[in-house]
Structure 1
Amino acid sequence: MSYRAPVPVKQCLILVGGKGTRLGDLTKGTPKPLLEISPGLRFLDVVIRNISRQGFTDIILLAGYLGERVSEIYDGQTVLGAKVRVFIETEPLGTGGAIATVADHLDEWFVLMNGDSLFDINFRDFSAAPPTTAIGRLALRAVDDASRYGSVEFVGERITAFREKHESMGGSGYINGGIYLLSRDVLAYIDGETSIERDVFPQIVAEGRLTAKLYQGYFLDMGLTDTFAQAQREIPHFLDRPCLFLDRDGVINEDKGYTHRPEDLKFINGAPEAIKFANDNGFFVIVVTNQSGVARGLYSLCEVDKFHQEINRRLAATGAYIDDFYNCPYHEDGIVPEYAVANHPDRKPNPGMILRAKRDWNIIDAQSFMVGDKPSDIEAAVAAGIKGVLFTGIDLQGLINNQIKIRLAQKM
C-alpha cells in the first residue's frame, strides 16, 4: 500500500473588517489592513503572501468597514497559487459572527487570523495534526510585558484561562498572537453578533477544548500610530530572508532514475526534519532541479508538478513546506523538440534557476546556501553568488542544520 499523508489544512480566513479608529485620519477612507507600509505595498499584501507561500490555497477575507475597497483589490486574485475570495458583512457581527457568514464555505479545519497584525510563525507546523478532542488551537507568544496585551494561561497544551489587560500582572507572560486553528464545530458556539475571543473561547476553555502552541517569531500589531510607524520601518525588511536551495533527486528524495511518480516518492533520511528546521528559522526553502526526463519524453511537466505537490503534501504532515520549485526540462539529447536545447541557461551547472528565484523572492545572498549531491549543483550555486554545500549521502539533517546555525550566528 502506498503512503498517504494526512490532508494538510488549506484554508485561511483573514479578518479585515475593523474600522481602525485608533489610527485616526489614516483610516477615514482606507481599511486599516490596506494602509501602505511602503509605496505600493499594503500591510495586507504581506499577510497574504506570508500565508500563501506556506501552501494555503483558499484565502477568504472577511471584510466589513469599507469592504468594497477590499473586494475591488483582492477578490478573485491569485497569490502564489492561492485563490483569494472576499466576503463583506452587511452589518457588524463581530469576529465570530463574521465566521458564521461563510459557514457554507468552511473546510473541516481552517486557520483564522487578524489582517492587521503579523506573527511570523511556521503555519505548517501550527496547523499540522489538528487536535482530535479540541475545537481549536491558538498561537501564543512570550513577551516581556504581558500587561499591555492581556495574557493566556495554560497547562501542557490545554489553555486554562484568559486574563484581560486590567487583570494581567506586570512582567513576562504569554499573549494571544491572533492566529487560530479552528474546527468548523466552532459554529455551534456562534449566535448572531459574537466575539470569538470574548464569547466563544471562554466557553471552549471551560470545556477543556482549547489548546495552545508557542512561537517566538517576529510579532507586530499595527493598530496604533506608533506601531504603524514601526510597521513602515520594519515590515518591508520582513520580506527579506535567507534561502536554503535544494537539489531534488538524491537530496530530498531517493533517486530511482527519472523519478516522477508520486507513489515512488521516498524521502532521504532526515530531509523533512531539515526542511522544517529551515522553515522554523525563517529561511525560504526553494528546490532547483534538472528534469531532462521531460525533454526525453519520459514524463510531462504536469507530472513534475504533481510530484512536487506530493512532496509538499507529505511534508505538511510533519509541519514542513517548500516555498517554490524550479525545474529545467531542457536537454540537448531531448526528443521533444521544444525542450531539445543544448546548454540551456537553467540547466545546472548553469545558474539560471537560482537567478530566477532571486528575482522572484527577496533573498539575502550572504546567508543563503545550496545543498546538492553533484558538482554541477555546487557550480550553479557559486555562479549565482551563493555558497554551495555538497551532500555525500551522510547525515543530511546534521549538514543542513549546522549550516543554518552558522548563518544565524553571522546575523547576530
Structure 2
Amino acid sequence: MRRVTVCQCVILLERPVASALPVSLMSCAGRPFLAWLLRELQRFGVKEFVFLTEAHSSEIVAAIEGLLVFLPKPAGMLISYTPCGYGTGGALLHARQHLQERFLFCHANVLFSCNLSHFLRSAGQGHWLLLSTVRQADVDVTAADKVSLNSENGKDREIAPGMTGVCLFEASILETLTKNCSLQDDVLPGLARHGDLNGVRLAGTCHQVSDLHDLEKVGRQLPRILHRPAVFLDRDGVINRDFGWVGTRERFEWEPGALDAIARITEAGYHVFIVTNQSGIARGFYSEEDLQQLMVWVIDTIRQHGGTVDDWRYCPMHPEARVEEYCGASEDRKPAPGMIVDLLNRWELDPDRCVLFGDQPSDMQAARAAGIEGMPVGVRSLSDLIVGKDILEIEAFSE
C-alpha cells in the first residue's frame, strides 16, 4: 500500500501591506497566525515548510525563524525569495530545487482545521484540492475562479479553488508553470480543463485573516478549537498484540478495532499520542532505528485508515539492560510520567481534558503521576472503551 503521509508543505506568504510583516505573521491569540496553521499541519506528519515570499526583509526572516518557538515538534524551515514580477505559479517554479515529489501547498493567511488524514488517503496520483463542504462567507468566490472537478464517479462539479487554502501537488506540476502564471487564475483552471485536477470535500472550520480586525476575531476562536483534548495510548496490548518486544513489522499485528478506534478519536477532534516503553532496545532485540522505521509505517497506516498520531514518545531504558548505554532508571520509563509530561508541555494540553488507555498497571500509575485520567484496557479493548466512554462528545469539525 502506498504511503499517504506528505512531509513537506509549501506556504505562500501574502504581500505586506501596511507594515513590515504579512498579516499571517502577526500576533493572533498569543502567537503568529501562521504558527497555528503549522501546528495543525504537524499533527498529520508535515516536517518541512518552504515559504514563498517576494519580500527580502530581515523582519520576515526573523518572524519565520521565530515560529519554531510556538511549534510542538521540530521542523525544517526554508525561505524561497520570489523575483519581482513573478506570479504565484512562478513563485512555485522558482522554488523547484526545494520541492519533494509530493507536497502540500497552503496560503499563509487561511487555516482550514479538519481531519486532514481523509484528504491524504483520498488523494492518489495527480494534483488535488481540499474543498470545504460549506462555502465560507469570508472567502471571495467568483465565477472566474471556478473549475470543473473530476469526481470519483465521473461527474463534473464546479468548485471555488483555494477555499480552504490547501492543495496537494506532485512535482509534475512544475511542467505546467511559467514565470508569470497564477495558480488561481491559470494553472488550476488549466488542469481542470484537461481533467487533471481532483478534489476532496471535507467538513472543517475555516479561518482567514486579511487585516488586524480579522486577527482579533479569529484570535477569539482559534484557542477554543485548536487547544484540543487528548488521548494518550500505550502501544503493545492497546494498538497491537503484545507478543513481547515488538520492534519489526513482521511481529506487529494490529489489535482488532484499533485502527477504526483511532480514526474515530481523530475525527472527534482529539489529539492522539503514543507513549511506549521499549525495553526491547535495552535488551538488544532491535535498535532505536528499527523502532523508528516501524513507527513510521504504523503511523502512516493509521492515516491510511482516517486517523492520525500527532506525536509519540518511547523510552528505551531498562534497569537490567543488556546494552550498556540503555542500562539505568529513567523518568521517561512508565510508571514514571516523563513521556506524558513532555507531551503535555510541548502541546500545551490541559491535563483535565486528557485520558490514557493502557493495559498495564504501570500505565495507570504513569497517568496518575502526570495528573491525567487512566483507562485500563484488557477484557474490553480500546474500541469497546471508546464506545462506552463519552470522550467523543466535543466540538470537532462542525462549521
Q: Could you say which TM-score interval applies, normalised by the shorter chain?
A: 0.7 to 0.9
Instruction: Tell me whether 1:64 sits opposite 2:54 in the alignment.
Output: yes
Name the aligned partner's letter for residue 70 of structure 1. Answer: I
Q: 1:319 to 1:108 in 2, by over 3 A?
A: farther
Structure 2 residue matching 1:356: 3-state secondary structure:
helix
* 1:236 positional shift: 4.2
CA contact (8 A) 1:265 1:311 kept: no
Answer yes or no: is 1:90 the counterpart of 2:72.
Answer: no
Alpha-carbon distance change, 406 to 56 in structure 1, aligned in 2, over 3 angstroms: closer
Equivalent AA in structure 1 for residue 3 of structure 2: P
Number of the residue aligned with 1:6: 3
Decide which moves more: 50-59 or 240-249: 50-59
**Which range moves more in the overlay, 301-310 or 216-225?**
301-310
Partners in 2 of 1:214 and 1:7 — Cα distance?
A: 17
* Shift of residue 258, structure 1, vs aligned partner: 0.7
**Residue 39 of structure 2 is aligned to residue 45 of structure 1:** no
Q: Deviations over 1:229-266 (max 9, x none)?
A: 11333334444111110001111122221111233322
> Which residue, out of 130, 145, 153, partners 1:138?
130
Residue 67 of structure 1: how far off its partner (Å): 5.0
Q: Shift of the alpha carbon at 1:121? A: 2.0
Partner in structure 2 of residue 365 of structure 1: 351
Residue in 2 aligned with 1:171? none
Q: Which residue does 1:160 correspond to in 2? A: 157
After TM superposition, the structure 1 stretch with the greater mean CA deviation from structure 2, 375-384 or 106-115, is: 375-384
Taking a change above 3 Å as real, the CA distance of residues 163 and 180 of structure 1, as seen in their structure-2 partners, is closer
CA deviation after TM superposition for structure 1 residue 405, in Å? 4.8
The alignment partner of 1:87 has SS state of strand
1:206 and 1:277 map into 2 onto residues whose CA distance is: 37
Residue 60 of structure 1 contacts residue 86 of structure 1 at CA under 8 Å; is this kept in 2? yes
| Counterparts of residues 276-291 of structure 1 (less than 5 Å) | 276-291=263-278
Q: Which runs of 5+ in 1 are unaligned?
A: 165-174
Q: Following the alignment from structure 1 to structure 2, what is the Cα–Cα distance between the partners of residues 195 and 310? A: 37
Is residue 209 from structure 1 mapped to residue 196 from structure 2 by the alignment? yes
TM-score (norm. length: structure 1): 0.83
Indicate how the Cα distance of structure 1 residues 409 and 130 shifts in structure 2: closer, same or farther if over 3 A, else same.
closer
1:183 and 1:96 map into 2 onto residues whose CA distance is: 14
Aligned residue for 1:62, secondary structure, equals strand
- Alignment of 1:34 onto 2:25: yes
**Which amino acid counterpart does residue 346 of structure 1 have in structure 2?**
D
Closer/same/farther in 2, CA of residues 100 and 159 from structure 1, 3 Å limit = farther
- The count of corresponding residues between Structure 1 and Structure 2 is 389
User: Is the partner of 2:214 in helix, strand or coil?
Assistant: helix
Q: Answer whether contact 1:348 1:380 (CA < 8 A) is retained.
A: yes
What does residue 256 of structure 2 align with? 269
The letter of the residue matching 1:106 is L
- 1:304-328: per-residue Cα shift (whole Å, max 9, x none)? 3233223223333334321222222
Q: Residues of 2 paired with 1:402 and 1:206: CA distance?
A: 49
CA contact (8 A) 2:265 2:392 kept: no
**Counterpart Cα distance in 1 of 2:395 and 2:195:** 41
Q: Could you tell me which residue of structure 1 aligns to residue 377 of structure 2?
A: 391
Whole-angstrom CA distance in 1 between matches of 2:44 and 2:255: 22
Q: Does 1:354 align with 2:354?
A: no
TM-score by length of 2: 0.85
**For the residues of structure 1 that align with 2:171 and 2:210, how far apart are their CA atoms?**
28
Q: Report the CA distance between 1:388 and its aligned residue.
A: 1.6
C-alpha distance in structure 2 between counterparts of 1:68 and 1:311, whole Å:
41
Inter-partner Cα distance in structure 1 for 2:62 and 2:150:
44
2:114 pairs, out of 93, 97, 121, with 121
Question: Do the aligned residues in 1 keep the contact of 2:233 with 2:356 (CA within 8 Å)?
Answer: yes
Instruction: Specify the code of the residue in structure 2 equivalent to 1:189.
Output: T
Which structure 2 residues correspond to residues 329-348 of structure 1 after superposition, within 5 A? 329-342=316-329, 344-348=330-334
CA distance in 1, matches of 2:8, 2:196: 21
Report the aligned-residue RMSD.
3.1
The 3-state SS of whatever aligns with 1:111 is strand
Aligned counterpart for 1:15 among listed residues 12, 16, 21 = 12
Change (3 A) 1:64 1:325: same
Per-residue displacement from partner, 1:369-397 (whole Å, max 9, x unpaired)?
Answer: 11112232223223322222222255533
Instruction: Determine the C-alpha separation between the residues in 2 that align with 1:94 and 1:192.
Output: 6
2:241 is the alignment partner of 1:251: no
